[in-house]
Structures are given as structure tokens and as C-alpha cells.
Amino acid sequence: MSKPARVGVFLFNGFQEMEFWYPVLRLREVGVDVVVIGVDGADAASSVLGYPVVPDVAMADTRPGDYAVLIVPGGNVKALAESAPFKAFLRDADTARVRIAAASQATSLVPSGAALARTTDDVPAWTRSLLEEIHA
């Protein structure tokens, strides 16, 4: 049996809960190695509703090539849009041909060709399509 794909999900202050937790939990449920990547380091980040989550790894301590897929949930993405390290990480991921997926407000931050969930309602179908790609 082959090793399951590793998926990175970005965590940042102001993330949207459903767009973060749905793919994390659904992918873990089927055995995908999901790593929560803290954009601003290893400290907890709070959702738009104030719920904290602690990342598995700081973005500065990992590389885009460690993942088959990178997911950017929506939410308050203003700080992400202004983050040079985050933009460089995505640029390096795109160059390395890592699959990038983004939801709602984060769709404007990712390179063309990324898998997009335009609204939170699209996240379940979007997650299923990512699962199909991972297991293809």
C-alpha cells in the first residue's frame, strides 16, 4: 500500500471555521496526512469567531514540496494578502507543481489553475474533488 498524500492547510488569524475544519476533518477521516501550517508561526491562530487552533508546524519550518496539496481557507485574508513570506511560499509551491486549493475570500490570493471553492457552500464538493485527485 502506498503512503497517503500529505496535505497542508494554512492557519492564520481570521480563518473561516467551516472552510478550515471541513477539509481537515474529511481528509483525516479517510487517512490523508493533514498538516496544519501556521502562517505566522507556531502559536495559536483565532478564527473569525474567535476559536483558537494550534498549528502542527510553522510555515517557516516547512517547504512547499513537502505537500501534494496546499489548502488556503477563506476568512479575513487581508494579512495574508500583505504577507511576503506567504506569497513566496505559494509561488514556490506553484513552481514545484504542488496542487493549490482556496476557498471564498482566499481565491484571489492563489495562482491561476488552483482549485477554487467560490463560497463556503462549495467546500464539501471541492473537498471531494481534491480527494479524488489525491487518490487518482
Q: Which domain holds residue 66?
A: 6-134
Mean pLDDT score across all residues of the chain: 93
Please name the residue ranges forming H helices in 1-122: 17-29, 78-81, 84-95
Q: Does residue 1 sit within a domain? A: no
Q: Does residue 36 sit within a domain? A: yes
Lowest pLDDT segment from 13-22, 85-94, 121-130: 121-130
What pLDDT sits at residue 10?
98
CB 11 within 8 A of CB 37: yes
Q: Which residue has the cell 471541492?
A: 126
**pLDDT average, residue stretch 31-55:** 97
CATH number at residue 23: 3.40.50.880
Q: Does residue 73 sit within a domain? A: yes
Name the domain count of the chain: 1
